[in-house]
Structure 1
């Protein structure tokens, strides 16, 4: 009788059963290679042209849309109004009078003064649906396949400096151009604008009309009239900023760097900004500016990383804010939008 602690050696037939099959090893290796290949495909999917993925079903979708809608075919779309060498100024002009001007009843000392409104950022209805429709819109015409490399800005191009009235909203329309200076007739380009002065900084809003034309609007409060610099940068072309590798697909080219001068006219008045309320924070879109209410040119960052340029109790100047602007350590800069913010101290906040 064998001992209880003894281990019985397996017979040769059992060894054959426990040994992995060569066919099983081959299948496991093939499965591993397939998974690795699929990972590479997913990783590099953004480098492929999205047109090759959506073309088979996009044509069917577009055909159904044509059958349901009486709109004409994109290939029969009218030619853009701008020619390659002489931009047409009929549609791309400077609009200096946007919105009605009503006399300010409070300005009794000068009844000729008029009050204009602030630039307002409005949310586009069905933004996501419109974006996807424009992104997947079929090409066909050469102007719809072209890539933007330049712009044409009537009212600014060809001038060393542009003079504008402070307080008014000035809308400039511009046309996207390809490398041959021909108009691009499809939208989706992402432009970044910057309006900078000594005591005023803002990012003028840009509108995309979907046909290769765009517009931006400029406005400076009369209190901050003076010399400014306008910069227009093309960051991404035709929705490429929506892809994964944005750093690799970014165009990032400065297209305009223009000197502007805003003049203070006595007949222009802007409504005073009100303080922000709880309901203001439900807005989806904001458009504002940075204003500088004081500065210290000799200010340096301290060893503890603080930027104490102004006294902690340096006051705001209404209507731009309410509180002590020195407490935010911005060397006098403060942000405001369609309303102005209250700056709380530690004691008042708690």
Structure 2
């Protein structure tokens, strides 16, 4: 629901919307004990917005005198928080809320919601998630995550182009030659339905949704696919699939078959000794990112041939992570 003012037992959250002028519309709290109306209005992705939190008497932040921070992010798909400026335990100035009065704090997303979060142009912003907390994270303004709908009309999916999969391609990253790769993404549920659109986003298009990178659909195979050309075999490329529907919103997916990924939350724990020259996580996106390179790979040197696989579709596969059994936490220490 498009809420502009919501008041319940736990909190009162006011949204101040900026307009094209310097004027701001201020929504005053309702009289005590009354049930406030719910106004049909939402934020605009490409405009400034100010979020004001007023703690009710039952809020854990009522009478709190310390610093208050907003744990905030762009919410996509089924509730995944992306573009979160700081971890829960991090207190950064960008997320510090300004004290307006006793029990009242605000934070301004400026010059626009999109720019404040660092979301690339063309990537729609549909919802913001917010948790108001104390500096040490032990007190929250309200118990449940609060979601604010956002209006963003910058993205309209193109018509689906139906075409069969290129010969010889399978699900995942298909390296055709040193300059060409075909990506195949399976998307069909048990009822035979699928998402309404799929795009390839990555280094090659600045992580923007571009019509030229809309994936084709092969219904018989249940797959989306796209062929990328003019690549440099000496370069590593990062990418994601951006798929969604009007009803469910969009999600970002890494390729399940990728041999290498980037993770903004965990890559910082990988030392240069464990993995030298690990490329930095790209700006302009969020979530797990797939990486590929078209440089020719050496054939696997399999020397054990004294066994047979009776049924490759009915195997029990055991996975052992050697690094988990080493003091250094990497395979070199195994």
Check whether TM > 0.5: no
The TM-score, its normalising length taken from structure 2, stands at: 0.32
Bigger radius of gyration: 1
The TM-score, its normalising length taken from structure 1, stands at: 0.31
Return the structure number with greater strand share.
2
Return the structure number with greater helix share.
1
